[in-house]
Structure 1
Amino acid sequence: MTDQEIEAIAGGYHGDAFAVLGPHAIGTARPEWEVRAFLPQAEQVEVAMNGNAVPMERVHNAGVFTAKLGTRQPSPYKFRITDYQGRTLEAEDTYRFSPLVSDFDLHLHSEGTNYEGYNAFGAHVVTAEGVVGTRFAVWAPNAIVVSVVGDFNDWDARRHPMRLREGGVWEIFIPAVEAGAPYKYAVKSRYQGYSQMKSDPYGFSMEMPPKSASIVADIDSYEWQDREWMERRAHTKTLESPISVYEVHLQSWVRDENHYPLSYRQLATRLVEYVKRMGYTHIELMPVAEHPYAPSWGYQVTGYFAPTARNGSPQDFMYFVDCCHREGIGVIMDWVPGHFPKDAHGLAYFDGTALYEHEDPRLGEHRDWGTLIFNYGRNEVRSFLISNALFWLKKYHIDGLRVD
């Protein structure tokens, strides 16, 4: 590890942290293993392994540590960290884990055919080598460094720089990060010194606006009760079936006694009862995906994979759809792939370049709305949008999309 590498790690601008941090074999004939870490919160660190503890040497005041472990490849280890308040804890080393996103997913993404990109990108709670944590993945090909930041690392972009994969995809597995954790991506561009905290394009949940962090969310554990509806839907000739649609904006349909929007679970009772009584077959929801500007009625989306927190959690929205189906009511959702807002935390200028939008403002800007237009000719953008459409149909059992 050179002085330049140490300075780059400590300064948060090294583009390949996995080449420096974690376990590394030094030498060729009889290599010796060395473990390196950046732990700015630590006063002292030990490598705990097989019942033994090897002290780490501080090689930079900012918190870069190293330890030599001998000629045998180290078995799984943990850091035993003593902080400046004298507290001691053990932590896994993020930089000892191998990549988790498959090469095939990356290939499909670059080809424009990863129609289930939501399974590869975003934040997923997984178990790697017996360790529970969250796997993060984001596309930012023109970044020199992308880091995950959140409460778990004091929002310090130096702590968890990601691994660059094929096609400009960055990924990392962070142990012990669980569902409910807020996070963003700290993106440093190779152009014009651009640096910005970004929400996750594939994030499954977001904070209540005006806050804008993504939230690690569990969207796979909900126990659906609409099997009969889904089986019938699969065999129904939709275009030959009668339909009567009630269009509704959930935040303004009915308010509670304090003038707050009803929750998804409250709507599952009150709205569904009303729609059934009036004889409608379907509810059409004006955009549900997260959006920062309430007066837009949801038509300026920043969280394409996240139901708005104004009415509750992802599982609350699943409950709403589930209740609709159990009462024989279909759910159509307004879907907005036509444009997106310029908010700094969103898709706009994501990695310091026109990544999701057209660079040419004649093609990339909707001047009437002051919004940006997707570059539909770009493979990765097509993967994103098609994945998003299918995501709502598959994960949330939405019955149809009205495209805006």
Structure 2
Amino acid sequence: MTQMPGLLDTEAIRKDFPILDRVLHDGRKLVYLDNAATSQKPRQVLDAVAEYYERYNANVHRGVHVLAEEATALYEGARDKVASFVNAPSRDEVIFTKNASESLNLVANMLGWADEPYRVDRETEIVITEMEHHSNIVPWQLLAQRTGAKLKWFGLTDDGRLDLSNIEEVITEKTKIVSFVLVSNILGTVNPVEQIVRRAQEVGALVLVDASQAAPHMPLDVQALGADFVAFTGHKMCGPTGIGVLWGRQELLEDLPPFLGGGEMIETVSMHSSTYAPAPHKFEAGTPPIAQAVGLGAAVDYLDAIGMDRIAQHEHAITEYAVQRLQEVPGLRIIGPVTAEDRGAAISFVLGDIHPHDVGQVLDEQGIAVRVGHHCARPVCLRYGIPATTRASFYLYSTPGEVDALVDGLEHVRNFFG
């Protein structure tokens, strides 16, 4: 299976990731299949963060000394890299946050405080989907509670797809914002962005796309998406934790109010009032995650050097193989699409009546790291009548051999529990 079409040279790639050489208990080598939660980091990223702290550490934008200017250049250089990575029309449309959750909350709060025509109030509606991560549910629930807006959502089909059969009833002239995930973190489903965006634009609604599970795995072109905002996070795409991104259309960022107040987001301050800096700095109050941004820039360089098209092809091949092999395990049921068509590299499943936590624990004893639980997507578990799932998720360094190790591990789980 190592010769299957589309695979990257994982032997070479894995040499860049020190943690993948780790040997766990009983001499078992780590099989890391929890990439939807966080990816591992290559030496190039680890070295970039270390070098920043060793040679350039200073606060940005405010100092005139050499270190401050160098740190500012590195920080703003990372913004340039991210803008290019997502094909943003302007670098000023790229806002650094601490994670995708903060990016999503930022948009929700902006709309809650906005003037017309963007304001969300009791006369308006918010639309999400039943497959969202909690980070794209709770902010909108909070906004609806504060403003009196009505929260609506698309349901799910039995095979793990969005049910858009009633799209004209869900997205109406009252809709102010449609916020949905591009690739589900629990189901792996790749959603039909074009259809949703087209309907939202027909009624004049804004669109926010959560691309946290897309940006690491496939080419992401914000202009081609047609959305107004796109959120993603660094730690799932070979970057450090503590850094996220919100891309927004320039005219919207100019018109919408800031969420956090403080240093760097201001233009002038008096005891009576303040004026704000232009975007992106208007939305980056206080000392930003400088080292983390530098690390994210290094991660973008790393992914660009390999090529996002090639990464997507590799993951499609691995996912296709994994879906096939997992369905050979007696009693295993995939929760979500059961083919590799329009699906990402996260595969959730249940194994007979064995609780997912027990599955995960026995796999861990074999050196196999998977995720168990509801994956911050509890409404999906409720929809399919299950308490939780086991989730295996793959990335650019994943191999067919690791899929085989997972399947062998699941056979051990079945034997262990009789």
TM-score by length of 2: 0.25
Structure number with higher strand proportion: 1
Structure number with higher helix proportion: 2
* Max Rg structure: 1
The higher-RCO structure (CA 8 Å, 6+ apart) is 2
TM-score by length of 1: 0.26
